[in-house]
Structure 1
């Protein structure tokens, strides 16, 4: 029985712990992704006041729910030190048994796959825009990424990926900086009054769409336990996470405001499409593509963790303890996952609608509903009344948001 309760998650190929700086880089590159370029569009839909408040609320809520996961894992570790809860799926199992693990891992798997697909679509669209004179189709550029991403998916640990994460962070910061500079210059050149921009939209139905984009921006929730577990000094993780989220939330608000103020009602779903075709816009697109290419393996980690956990169970059942065969199997499985995601990405239509749909459904379930459910289940009567109320609000709001946000995205804004 004890054997069944052990983690089915496959640890990364290397066990080297990450430093504070490495963890910082991994947190940023995990959270910041393609969704940030849709923020100005979300501000256009919701209004700049509603958009700013929405980003702040989503950022605080996501941080709170990440801490709930860590607290749940710590509680289980203190109760049963010999039974390790390494992953999100392990928490699902410890709370609700086999069904809990299945549902939790299913949500993580689909959510991370959707996020990874969004990365591939975004990279493909930008490469297609930059090199449009070559005559290649959008799908062709996406398929060109396959060998690169397969090779990077073979990198074993988060600490080994840290240099790529830091490089990706630099690319993202430079690209966002250039976009903000272009926004400010354009706004100053054309001149505008803040009263000309919508503060809070009268189209209430558009708020869930914009909120879905905001939730999608704080992606990578499935990496929470892996990031905390990879850190050398885990006691510093909550403070580091709070500092990082504060900075990211502030940058998101500034970026969304600048983009919307510059382009107003002409703001596109991907703000780089509003930029004139010159060296700076091309630099932005290439920089973001490089950043996301290096971020992709980190997005893949929760997917690989689940898939490889199942492969390990099969090997154990077959009494196969060959380490070399296990590594070969891991390399093959990661390659297959990349190929499948590339094929799916080649059929995805509009980026903004896809991102909002993923944020409204999968990300909302993963980021809010499951953590609040686990916390209420594991801590139960030991929680004070305000904690129970807060968790219940997060849980109910997450469910309602997922339902209405999905409907609103499907019928259109």
Structure 2
């Protein structure tokens, strides 16, 4: 999941009436959308095409792109409708303005739609998605470091990725967890995206060089292949929780749907081409992280090392929503408040101790993940599907339902049913091991 926490890079100033005034141009917003969506998941797309087949994989990516774009527009419409209601009820202006002033996050929208249950449900799914994305980061870095050291030092002997996760990554991430200023880590996020682009370029170059050997590639590999590829694609498109912040950051909000459409067309085409080229080049030898297919030369090693370094330093940004939710709940607990009143250092120790404990737990979970591709598809099929499709349609029906046309309500219901079926079917196939073919 890509769910990258880029909020510190978005400047949004609150104004009267509960709305927000953004300063970002269309070009800046386009860049922010791309940065928020594109992440390491893209490097698993060729494997999804191998599992599903080149045509099924292409359809899965395209369907995920179209569906995610449409559902992003749904939640933007929901917030717009809530603002219109506030303008229509001017007698409650002060109360409504204070309430809607904080309508900036996905969790806020869940609270408006279904009360505290909706907020907790939305935040729980965001927490699960960020946890899945964080574990995917650890697995990705561990497997690439294992590949680098295996090729340089041991040639044939494989080094377990868990060794690198616990001996290198965990101590580094514990040290970085003491940094609370996210903007200071923002340059590493830009570096990570640059490394992703460089890795994609090198992979495509290698793909084109061995295209002469590409034949007998399957178009379809069974009915279960399409949801597997769809789950991987949904994970790759997962920047959903940033939608409202991205829209609010624009100086001309009315242009947001068009800017978002441009971004999704470009990203979807790039995803399809990257997955297709990787599978056509390597066929059944395609690995769940395409960089592991690269030859053991210094340019490939440099790309892998650059990706690992960049992702290691952007990992705290991925962890920020998790830490924020946990620390907020911790501070609001009575026993913690009593502890703070008794011991001066209790707050500092408690908050940093919780961060260290979470990092240890995530590292343990990452060490048991059997494969990057299967895990990413599982997260995309379950948590990301619920977050990106089911919840937006439910919010849309609740907030705007009475004003919608029949076909719009039917479409929302279809999205909910298909999203739930997709989550169930994708989960079954991932757990049952069908995707390991």
Shorter-chain TM band: 0.7 to 0.9
**1:85 paired residue among 81, 95, 103:** 103
Contact preservation (8 Å) 2:207, 2:281: yes
Contact preservation (8 Å) 2:10, 2:245: no
**2:298 paired residue among 273, 279, 301:** 279
Structure 1 residues 326 and 374 mapped into 2: Cα distance closer, same or farther (>3 Å)?
A: farther
Q: How do residues 24-173 of structure 1 correspond to structure 2 at under 5 angstroms?
A: 24-78=30-84, 79=86, 80-83=96-99, 84-132=102-150, 133=153, 137-143=160-166, 144-150=168-174, 152=176, 161-173=185-197
> How far did 1:358 drift?
1.0
Q: How do residues 10-409 of structure 1 correspond to structure 2 at under 5 angstroms?
A: 16-17=11-12, 19-20=24-25, 24-78=30-84, 79=86, 80-83=96-99, 84-132=102-150, 133=153, 137-143=160-166, 144-150=168-174, 152=176, 161-188=185-212, 190=213, 192-193=214-215, 196-201=216-221, 203-229=222-248, 231=249, 233=251, 235=253, 237-311=256-330, 313-314=332-333, 333-409=354-430
> How far did 1:332 drift?
5.4
Q: With structure 2 as the length reference, what TM-score do the two structures score?
A: 0.80
Q: With structure 1 as the length reference, what TM-score do the two structures score?
A: 0.84
Contact preservation (8 Å) 1:29, 1:168: no
Mark the runs of 5 or more structure 1 residues left unpaired by the alignment: 1-10
For 2:139 and 2:346, how far apart are their aligned partners in 1? 33
Q: Deviations over 1:128-170 (max 9, x none)?
A: 1102337964223113223443455566577655433222111
**SS at 1:94's partner residue?**
helix
Contact preservation (8 Å) 2:68, 2:388: yes
Structure 1 residues 221 and 328 mapped into 2: Cα distance closer, same or farther (>3 Å)?
A: farther
> How far did 1:330 drift?
5.7
> How far did 1:31 drift?
1.8
CA RMSD of aligned residues (A): 3.3
Contact preservation (8 Å) 2:8, 2:182: no
Contact preservation (8 Å) 1:12, 1:157: no
How many residues end up aligned between the 2 structures? 395
Name which one, 1 or 2, has greater alpha-carbon Rg: 2
Partner in structure 2 of residue 3 of structure 1: none
Contact preservation (8 Å) 1:33, 1:292: no
Mark the runs of 5 or more structure 2 residues left unpaired by the alignment: 1-5, 13-22, 87-95
For 2:284 and 2:58, how far apart are their aligned partners in 1? 17
For 1:170 and 1:156, how far apart are their aligned partners in 2? 24
